[in-house]
Amino acid sequence: MVMVYILSILSFLCIIRLVLGPTYFDRLIALNLLVVIITAIMAIMAVEYRRHVYLDVALVYAVLGFVSVIAIAKYLTGKELHR
Amino acid sequence: MNEIFLIILVLAAVVAIEMKDLIHATIMLAAFSLVLVFIFFTLQALDVAIAEAAIGAGVSTVLFVVAISKTRRHE
């Protein structure tokens, strides 16, 4: 349970960078890091409480979490999105 | 710990409304969806959390980015 608190503090630091960040690179990388940290918190809590239903949420978010980052990064390259 | 994430949820929503650049607002909306997934997870509403993860990360953000790319970026 100590790891959950440590990762919570790290996620708070990510949220500070997400709110304050001057450029969009800061915000995009902070968002990607926040997805990874919260997925790790979900997996640790699944092990802690011994309920493997919790792992499904972490699995779904790990599969779908990068789609938004890929879409925003592809928009920021300046090309069309649908090709 | 849950109350702190609720405060962060309100903060992310206010920042996403007040942004002038719409890409920044979309990124903050994705963060809002992520924090909301974690709050649903800690409240043990697991199927709601799975549905919110699929809609918020997969569909909603991509839809907003496609809409911004077909219109103008700054408000």
Does any CB of chain A come closer than 8 Å to the CB of residue B46?
yes
| ipTM metric | 0.87
**pLDDT for the residue numbered B1:** 74
Q: 10 Å Cβ neighbour count for B15?
A: 20
Q: Can you tell me which residue has the tokens 């440590």? A: A6
Please tell me the distance from the alpha carbon of residue A19 to that of residue A13, in angstroms, as a whole number: 10
Give the best residue of A57, A63, A70 to mutate against chain B (max B CB count within 10 A). A57
Question: What are the CA-CA distances from residue A83 to residues A43, A69, B43, B61 (Å)?
Answer: 36, 17, 41, 18
Q: Any idea what DSSP says for residue A23?
A: S
Task: Name the nearest CA neighbour of A61 among B27, B46, B13, B10.
Answer: B46
Q: Is the pLDDT of residue B47 over 80?
A: yes
Average pLDDT score, chain A: 87
Domain positions in chain B:
2-69
Task: Name the nearest CA neighbour of B33 among B50, B45, B18, B21.
Answer: B50
Average pLDDT score, chain B: 89
Please tell me the distance from the alpha carbon of residue B43 to that of residue B32, in angstroms, as a whole number: 17
Q: Is the pTM of this model over 0.95?
A: no
Average pLDDT over residues B10-38: 90
The mean-pLDDT minimum among A35-39, B28-32, B36-40, B68-72 falls in B68-72
**pLDDT for the residue numbered A83:** 56
Average pLDDT over residues B34-62: 90
Amino acid at B47: D
What is the distance in angstroms between the Cα of B15 and the nearest Cα belonging to chain A?
Answer: 7
